[in-house]
Amino acid sequence: MTKVDLITGFLGAGKTTFIKKYAQYFLAQGQKIGILENDFGAVNADVMLLGELEGDNCLIEAVAGACDKGCHIRRFKTKLIAMGMMGLDRVIIEPSGVFDTDEFFDVLHEEPLDRWYEIGSVITIVDAQLDEELSDAADYLLASQCVRAGVILLSKVQCSAPQEIDSVLTHIEKAVCALDCRRERIPAVIQKDWSSFSDEDFAAIAESGCISADYVKRYNDYEGFSTLYYMHSGISLNQAGALAQSLLQDESYGRVYRIKGFLQEGNTWYELNITGKNTSVRETDNGQDIIIVIGEGLQKSRIDHCFTQK
């Protein structure tokens, strides 16, 4: 049977960055893998970020949302059926940062997937600089992703103070306690710079499994979260940075958690990834002229105006 891993984590935690390293580990072992980007939005920019991995031993597929939940689940299952016929050793699933992990378990227990796949590990990425002031819905989402994980990986520990890490661990514990859940064990937490991960580290992560847990669902479909897309915006790097800071700091636009995408200046493409505490801008070989705004209670008309007036 093909093992299938779920790499989950709240918005901007660093899932795609980890998947690059995780996939390279399996490829170096001579395994044939598939990566399924399972997003709830209409455009999946992360596929492009993983494109350098694609080759004879690495298949990359995507499920885009922009439809109702039932349709999205059917598309998810259809992709997994198709990938199940490829003779893969392992499939790695990266969902949106706004994802109900029950969807993963429910789909994998349906026929014919239950005959082709076995659940490997559920790996949750948590930003070591996580915003302490999350909404109740966001805290619930964070906790629901952590409670069934076999392992929690903290990202950005190399640029985080010890007190920040302690604060995040306390935050996770409080959020999980608020679920009033029953679970068979507590997941391991890895606090290590990912650049120093050894093959032994990746092997342990791959074998971390998942946790059986029961809790009362208080939110369905996370309807307060949304994603806005701006194609061919024509903004410069400087304009994008200023606009991002304005959107992130002014809650009249809603609660913006993350801004990501690509833009081009001259002949150079840049990848943008901006959250309240971190800004990453790097050159990339290719791109797509798109800026994506992700958040909670987004005020679309106000944000639209920012991009038209830039």
Domain ranges of the chain: 2-214, 226-309
71 and 115 Cβ atoms separated by less than 8 Å:
no
Q: What is the pLDDT of residue 293?
A: 93
Mean pLDDT of 219-236: 80
Of residues 12 and 200, which shows the higher confidence score? 200
Q: What is the pLDDT of residue 217?
A: 79
Mean pLDDT of 268-272: 91
Q: What is the mean pLDDT of the chain?
A: 89
226-309 topology per CATH: Hypothetical Protein Yjia; Chain: A;domain 2 (3.30.1220)
Sheet hosting strand 2-9, strand order edge to edge: 58-63, 33-38, 90-95, 2-9, 117-127, 151-155, 188-190
Choices 3.30.390.50, 3.40.50.150, 3.40.50.300, 3.40.50.450: CATH for 2-214:
3.40.50.300
Same fold, 2-214 and 226-309: no
Each residue of 206-220: pLDDT tens digit? 999 999 888 887 766
Structure tokens given for 30: 């001579």
Q: How far apart are CA 51 and CA 53, in angstroms?
A: 5
Share of the chain above pLDDT 90, in %: 55
Its pTM stands at 0.89
Q: What is the pLDDT of residue 183?
A: 84
